[in-house]
Amino acid sequence: MARRLKKLLVANRGEIALRIIRSARVFGLKTVAVYSAADATSAHVGAADEAILIGPAEAAKSYLNIAAIVAAAKQFGADAIHPGYGFLSERPEFAQATADAQIVFVGPRPEVMAALGDKVAARRIAVAAGVPVVPGIETAEISAAREFAALVGYPILIKAAAGGGGRGMRVVAEASQLETALEAAAREATAAFGDGRIFIEKYLAHPRHIEIQILGDDHGNVVALGERDCSIQRRHQKIIEESPAPGLSAEMRAKMIDAALKLARAAGYTNAGTAEFLVESDNFYFLEVNARLQVEHPVTEMRFGCDLVCEQLRIASGGKVDEPAAPRGAAIECRINAEDPEHDFRPATGTVLHLRVPGGPGVRFDSHLTSGAEVTPWYDGLLGKLICYGADREEARGRLVNALGEFSLLGVTNNAAYLRDIIASDQFRDAKLSTHFIDSFFSGWRIGGPEIDAAIVAALITAGDPQAETGALPQNNNQRRSPWDGLGNFELWGSRK
């Protein structure tokens, strides 16, 4: 049934909140932003038509506060809530509270979210739909775990049944590690999700991680918008995603899309979601469903010429999904995070003192950053997503290498140089992709001289050094002078303590 939506509350922050607000404006909706005390000056707050403080910096008291968010929607007369990704986006209780308040939730129904958000229940749906799964068992009992490991062989993978994002996940290489890993995984799962159930699977040696974007409506229609390869991960967190998946045969692609559609229909899925698979050799296995908009959705948008947020809003308004246009070209995205790749990727904070955003044909930068913005320790460290499109993968790759070279951010340590080296590498060019790519090729990465020189030039410009505007750099180490001489309490990748 068609619904005329007028005002959308965005229950998120940062890059994705700003992204949703922009699309909602195109869709013709007024918008309400929610923000914590730490985000009072964030870009998404100023971009919305209205905004409301919902709590202190702690996420549990603000962006995870269901009652406060629903109350804010009622107060401002919002007739729909978009959860974005992260925070409450996959919490069935949030979708249910929204529905109970007679507000449209821009996402799947709570019962569908509950079923697919549980790895064990989602696996049962997949098996019933005829979708291949990795051999596995739900158990935290050491005796049952030992029997399963003896049957399929080591290594095995321990996962939290109720969650994702790598939390509660352990790879067990031999029997002597099993009991300790089971206990640790259960503790972490309980702390992260309030649910200590454990699922154990056969560990695939060098799989690729490939996902299918789906859209479903309330009229029983489900469509797929191609695939994304998300194999390049660090600690089970995606950092580079691309579409189409290089080297994937047309036959395998068709089979995976068919499996994703079967799964979506079996679950009664509506709105945007992603069916994720592990691919090894000529086989693929169901992994999980992300019942929300994915961080990496822009690569699909660039290939299919669509706006997935507007599609979500159209579905939430009672509209039907259409068969997508034929995809064109290739797109690659990388996640620029506030972290230090040279020091075990420790999280970074600080003030954005200088920001240079790349441009040119096929270049897109999704971010909430502005000069002077504060990056705090309270939330996820995603600073922005740099996405490049090309007629083919090599053109998209070349544009992304150049765009990362143009990107400059001072005041907050980030992984842009690390990402550029990965994408410029022979291994990435040759698509030697697997979930072990980072461990295999980039485990000992260190920043190179050109990146340091570029940062020094930017720092000198920030300090007002006229020589830096010409790009003149010292030719050897003896000629180098420190740019920090004129910067006071400042360091190249953060604030001096």
More confidently predicted of 41 and 119: 41
Is the CB of residue 375 less than 8 Å from the CB of residue 348? yes
More confidently predicted of 187 and 244: 244
Find tokens 């790895």 and name the residue.
119
DSSP labels for 294-319? -TTHHHHHHHHT--HHHHHHHHHTTP
pTM for the model: 0.86
Separation CA 160–CA 140 (nearest Å):
10
The pLDDT tens digits for 318-377 are: 999 999 999 999 999 999 999 999 999 999 999 999 999 999 999 999 999 999 999 999
Domains and CATH numbers, the chain: 7-106 (3.40.50.20), 135-202 (3.30.1490.20), 208-441 (3.30.470.20)
Q: Tell whether the model's pLDDT for residue 33 goes beyond 70.
A: yes
Positive or negative torsion for Cα 40, 46, 52, 58: negative
Portion of the chain with pLDDT greater than 90, in percent:
79
Separation CA 354–CA 60 (nearest Å):
31
Q: Tell whether the model's pLDDT for residue 120 goes beyond 90.
A: no
Amino acid (1-letter code) at residue 212: I
Helix axes 393-406, 416-424, angle to 10 degrees: 150
The pLDDT tens digits for 67-112 are: 999 999 999 999 999 999 999 999 999 999 999 999 999 999 999 9
Q: How confident is the model at residue 449, as a pLDDT?
A: 60
Q: Tell whether the model's pLDDT for residue 474 goes beyond 50.
A: no
Q: Tell whether the model's pLDDT for residue 478 goes beyond 60.
A: no
Structure tokens at 388: 């490049």
Mean pLDDT confidence for 287-303? 97
The pLDDT tens digits for 48-64 are: 999 999 999 999 999 99
Lowest-confidence pick of 170-174, 358-362, 423-427: 170-174
Which 3 state secondary structure label does DSSP give 56? Answer: coil
Portion of the chain with pLDDT greater than 70, in percent:
89
N- to C-terminal Cα separation, the chain: 58
Structure tokens at 218: 């309330």
- Per-residue b or e along 405-416, where b marks 16 or more CB atoms closer than 10 Å to that residue's CB: bebbbbbbbbbb
| SS3 annotation, 58-93 | CHHHCCCCHHHHHHHHHHCCCCEEECCCCCCCCCHH
Q: pLDDT band at residue 460, thresholds of 50, 70 and 90?
A: low
Q: Measured at the alpha carbon of residue 126, what is the angle toward residues 320 and 213, in degrees to the nearest 5?
A: 40
Q: Measured at the alpha carbon of residue 333, what is the angle toward residues 331 and 337, in degrees to the nearest 5?
A: 175
Separation CA 348–CA 337 (nearest Å):
9
- Per-residue b or e along 307-346, where b marks 16 or more CB atoms closer than 10 Å to that residue's CB: bbbebbbbbbbeeebeebeebebbbbbbbbbbbbbeeebe
Active site residue 292: yes
Q: How confident is the model at residue 448, as a pLDDT?
A: 76
Q: How confident is the model at residue 118, as a pLDDT?
A: 85
Lowest-confidence pick of 25-34, 190-199, 232-241, 269-278: 190-199
CA 167 to chain centre: 15
Catalytic-role residue among 13, 208, 292, 399 = 292
Mean pLDDT confidence for 175-199? 88
Q: pLDDT band at residue 489, thresholds of 50, 70 and 90?
A: very low
| Closest to 31 measured CA to CA, from 43, 45, 42, 41 | 45
Q: Measured at the alpha carbon of residue 23, what is the angle toward residues 18 and 25, in degrees to the nearest 5?
A: 95
Phi, psi dihedral angles at 412 (to 5 degrees): -135, 120
The answer to whether the bond into 155 is cis (omega within 30° of 0) is yes
